[in-house]
């Protein structure tokens, strides 16, 4: 049976996923070797059970991210913090010095083109947590893939190792923040 | 003057009066990681990255301020030291707001280099996300205290080399900050000569020139050694002073 792989997008800019797509023709090799069971680039609504590997992009910045992180952990054997936001908080965490009220005011009142209003009556809009946090401060993480974004080479190195059943040991050359 | 013989990592070396364990090590191509140390400035012992073990003592010693003694046995690469060095980098990372992706020195940063050297795959301590200030009142330069690692190179170069003493350390413990002119805006400083030495010695992106964006700021730090050499020895030579890449 092919390894079941998921990718998830929490509080990030999707740049890490863009970098994943930069694997280009290697994506075709990957498609033969693994089954993509959940991803923002695939139309799957619910995070499945029995996932072998999950690449999780972004910091945990709102209530939805937090809930999702726990769902991923519960259903996944091996979790990779995918990129700098998942690893350190990075740009997503730059808002931590402001209160969530100030951030909402800035976003929905000061910068509104029209109808300035804080949409706190909508249950579909996730609540900001007090701080955006790296993934490993919320759930157990098994490996870290750095970079903003990680390069396609870094991703290839980690994913191919995992598909061969090995824990990815990233060469020091791939340890690179920013 | 008596020559001192001592041992670093099982090999014997000679030292003279005025030497430190660090400069003897560096002169003999033994790498000891440093952050606050900069050749030409007085050693300060702030960052603790150059800690070494000395046989017979349970304490660790900063190589930059420790003088060799006859028969001293120094170890620089034990597992214990590696463990502590990684912890120091983790503490530096967790006590500041270091976002490499949006930093002027991304790719040319001494803190990044240290993180790679100690194999920092993630920070095990909770990030504090401190509320630090940024002062852009100076016409040419900016201090972003979010990125400051309190190495005090700026304080020392301004006091010891430029002779202006704009910078100081204020407050205590986790609240320590670099301030200009008794905590007045840098742009209002009557002492600052706008020489830019502090910007050039800063190991991270805390001190920067205006108008530069991500990864654009490359700092050249060997000028300190050149100036100090010229001033004290009357030798205006750049030979043997290695350029930063």
pLDDT tens by residue, B20-54:
999 999 999 999 999 999 999 999 999 999 999 99
pLDDT the model gives residue A110:
96
What local confidence, expressed as pLDDT, does residue A4 receive? 94
A84 touching chain B per CB within 8 A: yes
- Non-local (6+) Cβ contacts of B10 within 8 A are none
For residues B55 and B96, state if they share a domain. no
- The answer to whether residues B135 and B160 belong to one domain is yes
Contacts of B215 (CB under 8 A, 6+ apart): A178, B103, B104, B105, B106, B107, B108
Decide if B56 is inside a domain. yes
Question: In terms of domains, do B200 and B92 share one?
Answer: yes
- Identify whether residues B88 and B34 lie together within a single domain: no
CB-based burial label for A101 (10 Å; 0-12, 13-18, 19+): exposed
Q: How far is B214 from chain A (nearest CA, A)?
A: 10
- We report the CATH number of the domain holding residue B12 as 3.10.20.740
Residues B95 and B35 in one domain: no
What pLDDT score was predicted for residue B199?
A: 98
> Which residue among A97, A134, A176 sits closest to B131, beta carbon to beta carbon?
A97
Last residue of a domain, one of B77, B99, B127: B77
Q: Is B77 exposed, middle or buried (0-12, 13-18, 19+ CB in 10 A)?
A: middle
B38-41 — which CB contacts under 8 Å span 24+ positions? Answer: B38/B153, B38/B156, B38/B157, B38/B201, B38/B221, B38/B224, B39/B222, B39/B224, B39/B225, B40/B161, B40/B224, B40/B225, B40/B226, B40/B227, B40/B228, B40/B229, B41/B153, B41/B156, B41/B157, B41/B160, B41/B161, B41/B201, B41/B224
Is B209 a domain residue?
yes
- The mean-pLDDT minimum among A80-84, B150-154, B233-237 falls in B233-237
Average pLDDT, chain B: 95
Structural domain total, chain B: 2
Q: How far apart are the first and last CA of chain A?
A: 36
Q: A88 and B98: CB-CB below 8 Å?
A: yes
Interface check for B217 against chain A (CB to CB < 8 A): the answer is: no
Q: What is the mean pLDDT of each run of 10 residues along chain A (178 residues)?
A: 94 97 94 94 95 96 98 97 97 95 95 91 91 98 94 91 76 81
Contact A88 B102 (CB under 8 A): no
Are B39 and B92 within one domain?
no
**B44 three-state secondary structure:** coil
Both B51 and B143 in one domain: the answer is no
Distance from CA of B189 to the nearest CA of A (A): 27
Q: Residues B197-219: pLDDT tens digits?
A: 999 999 999 999 999 999 999 99
At residue B241, the pLDDT reads 56
Nearest neighbour of A178 by CB, restricted to B103, B129, B131? B103
List chain B residues with CB under 8 Å of A93. Answer: 97, 99, 127, 129
In a shared domain, residues B120 and B93: yes
Distance CA B66, CA B51 (A): 10
For B126-147, what is the mean pLDDT? 97
List the domain range (segments joined by +) for residue B224: 83-233
Q: Last residue of a domain, which of B56, B77, B98?
A: B77
Instruction: Identify whether B47 is part of a domain.
Output: yes
Domain containing residue B109: CATH number: 3.30.70.20
**Chain A partners within 8 Å of B94 (Cβ):** none
- For residues B103 and B179, membership in a common domain is answered with yes
Residue B245 counted as domain residue: no
Cα nearest neighbour of B215 on chain A: A178
The ipTM (two decimal places) reads 0.92
The answer to whether residue B30 is domain-embedded is yes
Q: Could you tell me the maximum CA-CA distance found in chain B, to the nearest angstrom?
A: 54
Q: Which residues of B touch A145 (CB under 8 A)?
A: none
In a mutagenesis test of the B interface, which of A85, A88, A144, A176 is the best target, namely the one with the most B β-carbons within 10 Å? A88
Instruction: Among A134, A144, A177, select the one facing B100 at the smallest CB separation.
Output: A177
Backbone angles phi, psi at B172, to 5 degrees: -135, 155
Same domain, B72 and B89: no
pLDDT of residue B240: 56
Same structural domain, B106 and B204: yes
The domain boundary residue, chosen from B18, B48, B77: B77
Return the pLDDT at B245: 43
Q: Does B91 touch chain A (CB under 8 A)?
A: no
The A143-145 sheet, strands edge to edge: A35-38, A4-9, A51-57, A76-82, A143-145
Please indicate, yes or no, if residue B130 is contained in any of the structural domains.
yes
Domain A4-93+130-174 carries which CATH code? 3.40.50.700
pLDDT over threshold 50, residue B73:
yes
Are residues B71 and B97 both part of a single domain?
no
- How are beta strands B51-54 and B60-62 bridged, if at all? antiparallel
Chain B: closest CA distance from residue A3 (Å): 25
């Amino acid at each position: 049976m092919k390894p079941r792989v998921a990718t998830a997008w929490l509080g990030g800019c999707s740049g890490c996923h863009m970098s994943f797509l930069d694997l280009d023709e290697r994506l075709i090799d990957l498609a033969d070797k693994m089954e993509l069971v959940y991803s923002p680039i695939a139309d799957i609504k619910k995070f499945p059970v029995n996932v072998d590997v999950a690449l999780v992009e972004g910091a945990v910045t709102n209530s939805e991210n937090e809930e999702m992180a726990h769902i991923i952990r519960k259903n996944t054997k091996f979790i990779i913090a995918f990129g700098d936001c998942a690893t350190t908080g990075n740009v997503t965490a730059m808002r931590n010095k402001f209160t969530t009220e100030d951030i909402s005011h800035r976003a929905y009142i000061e910068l509104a083109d029209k109808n300035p209003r804080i949409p706190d009556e909508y249950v579909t809009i996730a609540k900001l947590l007090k701080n955006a946090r790296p993934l490993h401060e919320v759930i157990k993480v098994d490996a870290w893939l750095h970079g903003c974004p990680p390069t396609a080479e870094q991703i290839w190195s980690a994913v191919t190792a995992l598909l061969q059943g090995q824990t990815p040991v990233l060469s020091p050359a791939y340890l690179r923040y920013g | 003057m008596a020559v001192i013989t001592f041992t670093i990592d099982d090999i014997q070396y000679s030292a003279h009066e005025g030497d430190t364990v660090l400069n003897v090590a560096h002169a003999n191509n033994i790498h000891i990681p440093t952050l606050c140390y900069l050749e030409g400035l007085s050693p300060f012992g702030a960052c603790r990255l150059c800690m070494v073990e000395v046989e017979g003592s349970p304490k660790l010693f900063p190589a930059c301020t420790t003088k060799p003694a006859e028969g001293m046995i120094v170890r620089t690469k034990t597992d214990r030291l590696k463990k502590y060095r990684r912890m120091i980098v983790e503490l530096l990372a967790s006590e500041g707001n270091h976002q490499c992706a949006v930093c002027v020195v991304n790719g040319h940063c001494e803190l990044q280099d240290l993180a790679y050297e100690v194999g920092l795959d993630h920070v095990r301590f909770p990030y504090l996300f401190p509320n630090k200030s940024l002062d852009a009142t100076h016409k040419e330069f900016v201090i972003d205290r979010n990125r400051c690692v309190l190495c005090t190179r700026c304080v020392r170069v301004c006091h010891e080399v430029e002779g202006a003493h704009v910078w100081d350390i204020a407050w205590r413990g986790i609240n320590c900050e670099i301030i200009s002119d008794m905590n007045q805006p840098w742009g209002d400083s009557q002492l600052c000569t706008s020489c830019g030495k502090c910007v050039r010695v800063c190991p991270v992106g805390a001190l920067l020139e205006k108008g530069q964006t991500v990864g654009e700021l490359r700092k050249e730090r060997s000028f300190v050694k050149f100036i100090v050499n010229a001033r004290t020895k009357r030798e205006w030579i750049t030979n043997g002073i290695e350029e930063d890449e």
